[in-house]
Amino acid sequence: MPPPIPFNRPPITGRELSFLKEAIERRELSGDGHFTKQCEAWIGERLKSGRALLTHSCTGALEMAAILADLAPGDEVIMPSFTFVSTANAVVLRGAVPVFVDIRPDTLNLDERLVEAAMTPRTKAIFVVHYGGVCAEMDVFSDIAARHRLLLVEDAAQALLATYRGRLAGTLGDVACFSFHASKNIVSGEGGALVTDRDDLAERAAVIREKGTDRARFLLGLVDKYTWTDLGSSYVPSELVAAFLYAQLEDADAITAERRAIWQHYHEAFADIEARDIGVRRPIVPAHCGHNGHLYYLLLPDRDRRDAMISSLRAQGITAPFHYVPLHSSDAGRRFSRAVGMLAHTDDVSDRLIRLPMWAGMRDEIERVVAVIHDLIR
């Protein structure tokens, strides 16, 4: 049998070790040294956004966003149920309630048309997820957020360098949270960033990130000692993580282009299956969205056939997992959150979706995945 094909294989650009060595030689091991500043400058310049703050994870950045939203116990945050647990946990940790709204059947993103009906006087924020690096309908969300004075947070964990009407993900709301986890496009093992172009939020985020102290201002020489001034925790990543990340960011465009090419290869290869009208569909990317090749999935006719496909692929050494167990039907989701309506698309997609292997560096593996799937669907 040919070698196994993993679902994900983090890219290595070749400069990681030398940057790590440089960080070690600088004796900068804790956070906010040379490489953290380089990474934050890179993200800030690419996004042309006020401020980027490196964090130890997107989970951490989402927790910071939930603190910035000033959530009190019982407050509500609208979000999709079709997302990773961290989107919801950040809110629950503040004693607030995730309010799950269904996704659009085309992009699998939070359905902007259902959001206003789900609002109550306790609604404080909307946490939008750009699933698979395809942006949600941000113009509509911005308008809703402005009219109801809600904080608009982008969970852009999967969306670095994705675009919406020509603007980059991470610049479309009040606060954005990115992930550099090993499963994402650009990686540092564990890692993340919070981005905002609002000065008030940037200033407060710097305090939250430094254990609730004004240490960031102290390091800039703006105060002569630092003290506890706000809520906070330890969200600063080590310089070793930042050194690794900077080597990746320098190649972010090339890595993204390669992933987009693999995505396109899959997309063309499965066009005939979709055309046969047997209930298999490919991802839908609206014309005004530029995806970043984060994820290629297929929707199969039903759960049985999806599960059978996962097992058959596994038997041939190909790992192709599904996504997600909807949060509203999980144990913690039932305890801590509220669902609006039936979430029919969320349940349906979660039953039928299969994710295909996708990593920069795939070569012959692409054609093998395509061939095996054609064989299985025949």
Ligand X SMILES: *Cc1c(COP(=O)(O)O)cnc(C)c1O
173 to 202, contacts with ligand X by CB under 6 A? 179, 181, 192
Q: How far is CA 361 from CA 6, 224, 364, in A?
A: 12, 50, 10
Backbone dihedral angles phi then psi of residue 131, each to the nearest 5 degrees: -70, 130
Size of the site for ligand X (CB under 6 A): 14
138 to 177, contacts with ligand X by CB under 6 A? 155, 157-158
How near is the Cβ of 255 to ligand X at its closest, in Å?
Answer: 17
How near is the Cβ of 124 to ligand X at its closest, in Å?
Answer: 19
Q: Residue 124 or residue 294: which is nearer to ligand X going by CB?
A: 294
Tokens of 108: 């699998």
Could you tell me if 76 and 124 are in contact, meaning their C-beta atoms sit under 8 angstroms apart?
Answer: yes
User: Which amino acid is residue 112, in one-letter code?
Assistant: E
Chain Cα centroid distance, residue 285: 17
Contacts of 63 (CB under 8 A, 6+ apart): 89, 90, 93, 233, 235
Could you tell me if 107 and 134 are in contact, meaning their C-beta atoms sit under 8 angstroms apart?
Answer: yes
How near is the Cβ of 137 to ligand X at its closest, in Å?
Answer: 17
How near is the Cβ of 180 to ligand X at its closest, in Å?
Answer: 7
How near is the Cβ of 55 to ligand X at its closest, in Å?
Answer: 8
Binding region for ligand X (CB under 6 A) out of 52-60, 68-76, 215-223, 356-364: 52-60
Which residue from 52, 53, 54, 58 is in contact with ligand X, where contact means CB under 6 A?
58
Rounded to a whole number of angstroms, the CA Rg of the chain reads 21
Q: How far is CA 184 from CA 188, 344, 363, in A?
A: 9, 28, 19
Q: Residue 60 or residue 232: which is nearer to ligand X going by CB?
A: 60
61 to 120, contacts with ligand X by CB under 6 A? 83-84, 86-87
Q: Residue 42 or residue 324: which is nearer to ligand X going by CB?
A: 324
Tokens of 172: 């479309």
CB atoms within 10 A of CB 278: 12
Could you tell me if 138 and 162 are in contact, meaning their C-beta atoms sit under 8 angstroms apart?
Answer: no
Site of tokens 């144990």: 331
CB atoms within 10 A of CB 29: 12
How near is the Cβ of 182 to ligand X at its closest, in Å?
Answer: 9
Residue 57 makes contact with ligand X by CB under 6 A: yes
How near is the Cβ of 122 to ligand X at its closest, in Å?
Answer: 23
Q: Residue 241 or residue 373: which is nearer to ligand X going by CB?
A: 241
Q: Residue 6 or residue 279: which is nearer to ligand X going by CB?
A: 6
Q: Residue 79 or residue 145: which is nearer to ligand X going by CB?
A: 79
Q: Residue 99 or residue 157: which is nearer to ligand X going by CB?
A: 157
Residue 19 makes contact with ligand X by CB under 6 A: no
How near is the Cβ of 183 to ligand X at its closest, in Å?
Answer: 6
Convert 66-104 to b/e letters by CB count within 10 Å (16 or more is b): bbbbebeeebbbbbbbbbbebbbbbbbebebbbbbbbbb
Binding region for ligand X (CB under 6 A) out of 24-32, 51-59, 132-140, 340-348: 51-59
Binding region for ligand X (CB under 6 A) out of 53-61, 72-80, 210-218, 300-308: 53-61
218 to 247, contacts with ligand X by CB under 6 A? none
d(CA 8, CA 84): 17
- Residue 339 pairs in a beta bridge with 100
What does the binding site for ligand X look like in residue numbers (CB under 6 A)? 57-59, 83-84, 86-87, 129, 155, 157-158, 179, 181, 192
